[in-house]
Amino acid sequence: MKTWMLAATLYVMPLAAFAGTSSVTLHGTTFSTEFATNDAQREHGLMDRAHMDADHSMLFIFPADAPRAFWMKNTLIPLDILYFDSARKLVAMQLNAQPCKADPCAIYPSGNLPARYVLELNAGTAGRLGLKLGDELTVTGTPDTAR
């Protein structure tokens, strides 16, 4: 086998190991996750969902670090919104963000802190886990394997 083919096989092999699983882990607790990686997915997020299982989440992935702000327009369930930098360290939290059906809706920012990843969990989950700034997010899987 040529060297470049072997290198390509070794590079792709770990991704295949994640097939069918996409998850995030915080404080030893693992959540199945959906990825939002493009503008349309990030804009829609968890809108119009009446329920999210306790062991589920949505991870928004942005191409670069920047201050972020989310709102709850047409989101039907209260959420904890967690902001992580490019090293996947928790830099800001907006807890118990409430649903909003009509403008004006509250804005939930990361402050002036740059974030590349934003994780949405059911409201109350961050408190139950005892999350603190600086906690690290572990991501398993790739956006291609998201359900």
Q: What angle do CA 146, 15, 33 make, to 5 degrees?
A: 25
Residue 143: its pLDDT value, please?
A: 74
Q: Are 35 and 143 in contact (CB under 8 A)?
A: yes
Q: Are 24 and 119 in contact (CB under 8 A)?
A: yes
Residue 12: its pLDDT value, please?
A: 34
Residue 64: its pLDDT value, please?
A: 95
Ordered domains of the chain (ranges, CATH): 30-140 (2.60.120.1140)
pLDDT above 80 for 79? yes
Q: Phi and psi of 56, rounded to 5°?
A: -120, 160
Residue 14: its pLDDT value, please?
A: 35
| pLDDT tens, residue by residue, 126-145 | 999 999 999 999 999 877 53
The mean pLDDT value for 56-69 works out to 96
Residue 91: its pLDDT value, please?
A: 98
| pLDDT tens, residue by residue, 9-51 | 333 333 333 334 699 999 999 999 999 999 999 989 899 899 9
Cα 59 off chain centre by: 2
Region of 19 (left: φ > 0; alpha: ψ -120 to 50; beta: rest) is beta
Greater model confidence, 70 or 142: 70
The CA distance from 137 to 131, in Å, is 11
Residue 61: its pLDDT value, please?
A: 95
